[in-house]
Amino acid sequence: MFSRKSGRRPVGGPRTGPENQPAKSPKTTPGAPGVSTDGSDGGYNAGIAVFSYIVGGIIVWSLIGWGLDNLWGTRWIVLAGALLGAAGGFYLSHMHGLTSNRISAGDGNAARGPSQDEEQ
């Protein structure tokens, strides 16, 4: 840095300031359950997480529907609860990024969508 009085750099002493500090590594936050940070086994773990979200949603909402069926004397709310639980589990797994399309090894033509044929 330049000295204010003479406009020259000071000769001695350690340099301090943010430009002379070592760079800090960025903070990493944990992602969705089942997604590994290094990508080694993320596909398997993401599949297990999607499965548990959907099955867990079906079980929880079916039990809620079963309780409401017993309370109100109906028979259809348990089925509606199971469907709601499955849809909610898929929605949660999608919002956590577990159902995203990933480009596989190779040229990745399948991930691009339908082919664009040339006019003849």
pLDDT tens-digit readout, 75-85: 999 999 999 99
Q: What is the mean pLDDT of the chain?
A: 75
Q: What per-residue confidence (pLDDT) applies to 103?
A: 52
Model confidence at 28, pLDDT cuts 50, 70, 90, reads very low
The pLDDT, as a whole number, for residue 75 is: 94
> For residue 84, what pLDDT is reported?
97
**Predicted confidence (pLDDT) per residue in 61-75, tens digit:** 999 999 999 999 999
**According to the model, what pLDDT value does residue 114 have?**
58
3-state SS, one letter per residue, for 6-30: CCCCCCCCCCCCHHHCCCCCCCCCC
| pLDDT value for 97 | 86
pLDDT band (50, 70, 90) for residue 89: very high
Give the pLDDT confidence score for residue 91 in this predicted structure: 95
In which element (H, E) is residue 55 found?
helix 42-72
Map residue 99 onto helix, strand or coil: coil
